[in-house]
């Protein structure tokens, strides 16, 4: 992958967050493959891949990975993993993924003397880092333990892990400086818009308001949004609304008419039309698939 190719549009991923937790985790298990999904997000990401081989793409860096590979990705740095084969055919492709905010880690380094080694780690990790064999061997059992204990109890183990990683002087930087420098103000603009949409999608969201949030003209906002997200603002809002409606249809007994209004539709007909287009079935049929199972 060339430097120019690495700058092609990546999708912004929204990480599901718990407001009362400092970090998020995902125990990813896939039977078919780890697919190529070029994406980025504001959170830093640490990924341990297990039971598979393949290629790791971080910025403009491409490398082979195998079982036990451990790498960290900086804030908004485009990345993806793609698998080529499983080590043990009887088990799924696995990835232990941990997300946390750069600002959170920086604040700990600045306020806690015991974690002074973390100072500057985020800056080093912004380009992505692949860790040394010795560090990977020490980090693996800590990461596995983080996924075995209750999420809320994992903070001390996470800090132990990050302190270990920060002390790895043999960790290898991945993406080039040029790619990291290309992650510029445009991400800040689009992130402000996306955050506003996720908090207000059930309301009438006007392009004038979004343009002001992005500090752009409406045409400039349209171009920026389509470039970074891949769809128009209106289609993105529809996806948010229908996604929330699906969750409510599956998990509650609320009337469909109430759900459609709660997610932002004033017209039941529009809701039904959008739902059918995106889910290829009516809201009632969608709910019945959960009731029957």
185-292 folds as Arc Repressor Mutant, subunit A (1.10.10)
Q: Do domains 3-178 and 185-292 have the same CATH topology?
A: no
Q: Among 154-163, 175-184, 203-212, whose mean pLDDT is lowest?
A: 175-184
Q: What integer pLDDT is reported at residue 155 of this predicted model?
A: 94
With a cut of 70, say whether residue 51 has pLDDT above it.
yes
pLDDT (average), residues 237-253: 83
3-178: in CATH 1.10.630.10: no
Residue that the structure tokens 């459609």 belong to: 260
pLDDT digits (tens, 9 = 90+) for 128-142: 999 999 999 999 999
Question: What global pTM score does this model have?
Answer: 0.64
d(CA 45, CA 81): 12
Please state the domain extents for the chain.
3-178, 185-292
Q: Which residue has the higher pLDDT, 32 or 150?
A: 150
With a cut of 90, say whether residue 289 has pLDDT above it.
no
With a cut of 60, say whether residue 8 has pLDDT above it.
no
CA separation, residue 178 to residues 59, 121, 281, 287 (Å): 10, 19, 46, 49
pLDDT (average), residues 196-214: 86
With a cut of 50, say whether residue 284 has pLDDT above it.
yes
């Amino acid at each position: 992958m060339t430097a120019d190719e690495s700058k092609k549009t990546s999708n912004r991923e929204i990480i599901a967050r718990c407001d009362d937790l400092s970090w998020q985790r995902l125990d990813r298990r896939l039977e078919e493959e780890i697919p190529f999904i070029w994406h980025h997000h504001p959170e830093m990401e640490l990924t341990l891949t297990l039971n598979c081989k393949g290629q790791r793409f971080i910025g403009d860096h491409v490398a082979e990975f195998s079982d036990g590979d451990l790498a960290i990705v900086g804030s908004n740095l485009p990345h993806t993993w793609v698998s080529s084969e499983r080590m043990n055919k009887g088990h799924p492709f696995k990835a232990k993924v941990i997300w946390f905010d750069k600002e959170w880690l920086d604040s700990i380094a600045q306020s806690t003397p015991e974690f002074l080694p973390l100072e500057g780690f985020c800056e080093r990790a912004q380009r992505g880092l692949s860790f040394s064999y010795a560090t990977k061997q020490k980090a693996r059992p800590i990461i596995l333990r983080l996924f075995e204990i209750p999420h809320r109890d994992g903070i001390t183990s996470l800090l132990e892990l990050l302190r270990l990683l920060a002390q790895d002087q043999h960790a290898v930087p991945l993406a080039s400086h040029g790619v990291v420098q290309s992650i510029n103000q445009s991400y800040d603009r689009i992130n402000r818009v996306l955050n506003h949409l996720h908090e207000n999608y059930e309301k009438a969201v006007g392009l004038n308001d979004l343009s002001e949030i992005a500090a752009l003209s409406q045409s400039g906002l349209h171009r920026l949004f389509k470039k970074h997200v891949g769809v128009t603002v209106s289609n993105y809002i529809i996806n948010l609304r229908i996604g929330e409606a699906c969750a409510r249809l599956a998990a509650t007994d609320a009337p469909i008419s109430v759900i459609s209004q709660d997610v932002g539709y004033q017209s039941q007909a529009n809701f039904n039309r959008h739902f059918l287009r995106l889910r290829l079935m009516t809201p009632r049929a969608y709910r019945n698939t959960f009731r029957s199972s």
